[in-house]
Amino acid sequence: MAVLGGWRKSIFYVIDSTIFPEISQDEYREYCINKKDVTECFPFDKTTLVFKVMGKMFALTGLENKVFCVNLKYNTEKSIELRANYKSVEPGWHMNKRMWNTVNFEHSELKNITLRDLIDHSYEEVVKSLPKQKQKELFNLS
Instruction: Name the average pLDDT for the chain.
Output: 79
Q: Is the pLDDT of residue 101 over 80?
A: yes
Instruction: With respect to residue 3, please indicate whether it lies within any of the assigned structural domains.
Output: no
CATH number, position 87: 3.90.1150.30
- Looking at the chain, the whole-number percentage of residues with pLDDT higher than 70 is 78
- Using alpha carbons, list the distances in angstroms from residue 48 to 29, 43, 122: 12, 8, 18
Say how many domains are in the chain.
1
- Tell me the helices (H) and strands (E) count for the chain, helix number first: 4, 8
Instruction: With respect to residue 36, please indicate whether it lies within any of the assigned structural domains.
Output: yes
Q: From CA 20, how far away is CA 14, in angstroms rounded?
A: 7
Instruction: With respect to residue 1, please indicate whether it lies within any of the assigned structural domains.
Output: no
The range of the structural domain enclosing residue 105 comes to 8-140
Residue 85 confidence (pLDDT): 86
Write out pLDDT tens, residues 109-125: 666 567 788 899 999 99
Average pLDDT in the 63-86 region? 88
Angle between helices 115-129 and 132-140 (to 10 degrees): 130
Write out pLDDT tens, residues 3-40: 333 333 333 333 333 344 567 788 889 999 999 999 99
pTM of the model: 0.79
